[in-house]
Amino acid sequence: TKSLRETLQEVIPAKQEQLKKLKTEHAQAVVGEVENIIGGMRGLKAMLWDASVLDPLEGIRFHGLSIPDCQKVLPAAPGGKEIIPESMLWLLLTGQVPTPEQTRELSRELAEKGELPKFIEELVDSFPQTLHPMTQLGMAVAALNHDSSFQAAYEKGMKKSEYWTHTLEDCINLIARLPALAARIYRNVYKPGNPLPAINKDLDLVGNYSNLLGYGDNHSLTEYLRLYIALHGDHEGGNASAHTAHLVGSTLSDPYLSYSAALFALAGPLHGLANQEVLRWQLAMQKELGDNVTPEQIKDYLWKTLKSGQVVPGYGHGVLRNPDPRFIALQQFCDGKPELKSSPIIELVNKTFQVAPDVLKEHGKTKNPYPNVDATSGCVLYHYGLTEFKYYTVIFGVSRGNVDYPDVILSAHIYFDCSLGSFDPAGVGTRYVVAIDVFDIPLNDVVLISALGMPLERPKSLSLDAIEKLVKKD
Ligand code: AMX
């Protein structure tokens, strides 16, 4: 069976060819218009992202596969049923479904590379316990670039065609180390003094992560984490963390720095921190309303939140206009387990889902009154006893590393020059890198960026006066 590297060796030349053809045949093609410069670039077609496409109604597809498709075809861990990040990573990087053997081989490689360098352990152990776990993760990931293969090769002088192999090397090493790193942060902040087990070479990435967190005996939670982390791996290129990794990667910063930057974008409450906020909000609702809440009581609580000028966390989305299929997949996971279905916090999430869309429609502001993945993801962790909600975004972060980042690496190596009102692929370079989502941060893109040789991103900005002038001309 072919390894991940061998598979990529075969896949990348075809991608490069596809890009070259696009560049020569359609250099002047206009793919859209800029309608609203002050609207956060919503809908602006301005970047290449090969691994996934987000449809507003249907949700995400990874190389054409929907979430239910992935659940049917992507290999699980031995003894498990849920998708694992390794098989998702393989799909995102290569566009191909790996065999169980290929998935096992990748799991083994990650486990073999999973130990942290001593200086990183010391760095993490020196952080104050009160430093937010996401800050700790981002700082430690940046410091891992001490051993960057890309940076070392660049300093020596390497050919552009070699970028992607070093980028991939860095991505694999980074993903491999995330469980030990993220678990060490958890131990230091919440369970100081607890021993950290060694990495088990026979376990998959999340099997090891769960073990290191101290939940290895809880098969149900481990399976949930596998699904959660695989599903969070990639969500198109324009979301704040993926785009950050892509932008930073386009300067030829190595994957550690690109991913670290992305983690800090993920740390915001409108993005990755939302799962923490949802839990905080649902628990406050539970405390105020007590048990056996009625739909009317939840409606009143929703209005109280909205009237106080706050957003309803876990609802709304920059692109989606339907319930997030990742939310549905996590709901289905809960439906299949009686102890989860009857859990008070999951029941409250379900009851809120029954009434919140109508309240948000009546409120009339959000373009999407439906739940996103964060409406439930943290609440399930809470049910399992992983109650330290400041840590939740770290788990999200771990997911982006696995999958999304390699994509950033790959895409950074493809160049599209977007000027106002037109899309001009002239000058397509080739830096293609892949990215993970902290497990959801676009490492797959980082690989793609380096393989396709994409150029430094540098969109045009305009001052208020310049926009006024432009608009008045029309
Ligand atoms: N509750 C109340 N108001 C909301 C809302 C919500 N859940 N979602 C959007 N709105 C409001 C916006 O604040 C905006 O108000 P304004 O005109 O006064 O500024 C208006 O509706 C229009 O916003 P939009 O175009 O529908 O959304 P957006 O693309 O600007 O923002 C998002 C998207 C996710 C930031 C927003 O829906 C939100 O704040 N949701 C709650 C936080 C959340 O769940 N974030 C997680 C997103 C998924 C992720 O990245 N992990």
pLDDT one-digit tens code per residue, 132-187: 999 999 999 999 999 999 999 999 998 888 888 999 999 999 999 999 999 999 99
* Catalytic residue (choose from 235, 317, 383, 413): 317
316 Cβ below 6 A of ligand 1: yes
337: buried, middle or exposed (CB in 10 Å: 19+, 13-18, 0-12)? middle
Quick check: is 271 catalytic?
yes
Distance CA 414, CA 246 (A): 11
Structural contact between residues 10 and 96, judged by C-beta atoms closer than 8 angstroms: no
241 Cβ below 6 A of ligand 1: no
Structural contact between residues 221 and 229, judged by C-beta atoms closer than 8 angstroms: no
Closest CA to 329 of 436, 207, 223, 219: 223
* Catalytic residue (choose from 147, 271, 363, 424): 271
Which of 270, 306, 361, 441 is the best mutation target for the ligand 1 pocket, counting ligand atoms within 8 Å of the beta carbon and taking the most?
270
Spacing, Cα 324 to ligand 1 middle (Å): 14
366 Cβ below 6 A of ligand 1: yes
Structural contact between residues 164 and 412, judged by C-beta atoms closer than 8 angstroms: no
Closest CA to 255 of 394, 442, 62, 93: 442
User: What's the confidence (pLDDT) of residue 39?
Assistant: 81
pLDDT in tens, 32-48: 777 777 888 888 888 88
372 Cβ below 6 A of ligand 1: yes
Distance CA 243, CA 248 (A): 9
* Contact partners, residue 279, CB within 8 Å, separation at least 6: 345, 378, 379, 382, 389, 392
Looking at the CA of residue 42, tell me the nearest atom of ligand 1: 29
Q: Provide the pLDDT confidence category of residue 402 given band limits of 50, 70 and 90.
A: low
How confident is the model over 436-450, as a mean pLDDT?
A: 59
pLDDT in tens, 298-333: 999 999 999 999 999 999 998 999 999 999 999 999
- As a whole-number percent, the residues of the chain with pLDDT over 70 amount to 91
Pick from 13-17, 225-229, 280-284, 405-409: least confident: 405-409
Residue 74 pLDDT > 90, yes or no? Answer: yes
pTM here is 0.89
DSSP state of 322: S
ipTM score for this prediction: 0.98
271 Cβ below 6 A of ligand 1: yes
Ligand 1: residue whose CA is nearest its atom 2: 311
Distance CA 353, CA 298 (A): 10
Quick check: is 363 catalytic?
no
Distance CA 77, CA 100 (A): 9
Which of 365, 393, 440 is the best mutation target for the ligand 1 pocket, counting ligand atoms within 8 Å of the beta carbon and taking the most?
365
Query: Average pLDDT over the chain, rounded to whole?
Result: 87
Residue 276 pLDDT > 70, yes or no? Answer: yes
Quick check: is 317 catalytic?
yes
Domains and CATH numbers, the chain: 1-270+404-474 (1.10.580.10), 274-392 (1.10.230.10)
Ligand 1: residue whose CA is nearest its atom 36: 316
Looking at the CA of residue 372, tell me the nearest atom of ligand 1: 48
Whole-number Cα distances in Å, 218 to 139, 221, 393: 30, 5, 21
Q: Provide the pLDDT confidence category of residue 428 given band limits of 50, 70 and 90.
A: very low
